[in-house]
Structure 1
């Protein structure tokens, strides 16, 4: 589980990837929009989009010569579930304490 969790959190560990996800959370965008919004180079944006696509975090639609990207909710739902699980564990940890060995 921790390997899967690390992979999920790793998707958002990069500031540019996080910004791309934030932008795609509100609408489907093509690469040119993401370049304009982030100010990053086309090759850099494409690199991060490829990482997100390979992880299943985004899907694409080809329209003419443009590629449009949209988020796939299940990846964000998995992240949210993982955070909820960690928060639940922290809540339980606040109520439990293992005895210390002398």
Structure 2
């Protein structure tokens, strides 16, 4: 009896074949936590660039990973796990965290939304900060939070220098902050800046992207 369409079956075959290679499985494990550039992956894996390129193309062809250009340095690209790539599969990395610190440039939208969303679903404390904080939270972020039933704290954006602690599990949620802070150990989510477009749709897309990523990260962290 034929229970699955041929194209769906072949997609599953390609995904399992791609994950059968130890290097590609390691890349996918890393991407389950955040987005990484080829340079960052090469440093993490210690493999030649041509071999890494082969593995990344294979993951793209199998529908496991996607790439896009950095909003900061257009010469740079980031790889991220494709939506639904690991449905039915369990990632193999778990980490301890005493606090999750979400960081963007202005601390006026993405990092504020991320910290508030995190508080809804995890007992691990969260905070947010910016490398160059704005004077106030962006009205578009406040409106997006309200549309989704989320309350943002009525506080001014804060500087990373004033908030960060050595034990924080750091999540950068914008390319500018990530590329400005190469010494910070943590994970990166390449979330598009909703302030660039300034539209309701842009803020909703950022909200949905962050919410999806938080859903994936919560079971991967345990309280330190």
TM-score for the superposition, normalised by structure 2:
0.33
**Structure 1 position 75 matched with structure 2 position 85:** yes
Is the CA contact (8 Å cut-off) linking 2:67 and 2:78 kept in structure 1?
yes
- Provide the residue aligned with 2:68 in structure 1: 61
Please, which of 18, 29, 32 is the counterpart of residue 22 of structure 1?
29
Is the CA contact (8 Å cut-off) linking 2:15 and 2:63 kept in structure 1?
no
Larger helix percent: 1
Secondary structure of the structure 2 residue equivalent to 1:70: strand
User: Could you say which structure has the greater relative contact order, defined with CA pairs below 8 angstroms and 6 or more residues apart?
Assistant: 1
Q: Which runs of 5+ in 2 are unaligned?
A: 90-224
Is the CA contact (8 Å cut-off) linking 2:11 and 2:62 kept in structure 1?
no
- Provide the residue aligned with 1:12 in structure 2: 19
- CA separation in 2, counterparts of 1:36 and 1:4? 30
- Provide the residue aligned with 1:50 in structure 2: 57
* Per-residue CA distance 1:29-84 (angstroms, 9 max, x = gap): 0000000000011111111101111122111111211110000131211x43xxxx
- CA separation in 1, counterparts of 2:11 and 2:61? 14
* Alpha-carbon spacing, 1:3–1:59, altered in 2? closer, same or farther (3 Å): closer
- CA separation in 2, counterparts of 1:15 and 1:30? 19
- CA separation in 2, counterparts of 1:3 and 1:52? 14
* Alpha-carbon spacing, 1:70–1:42, altered in 2? closer, same or farther (3 Å): same
Q: Which runs of 5+ in 1 are unaligned?
A: 81-102
- CA separation in 2, counterparts of 1:19 and 1:74? 18
Cα RMSD, aligned residues only: 1.6
- CA separation in 1, counterparts of 2:16 and 2:32? 17
- CA separation in 1, counterparts of 2:21 and 2:62? 14
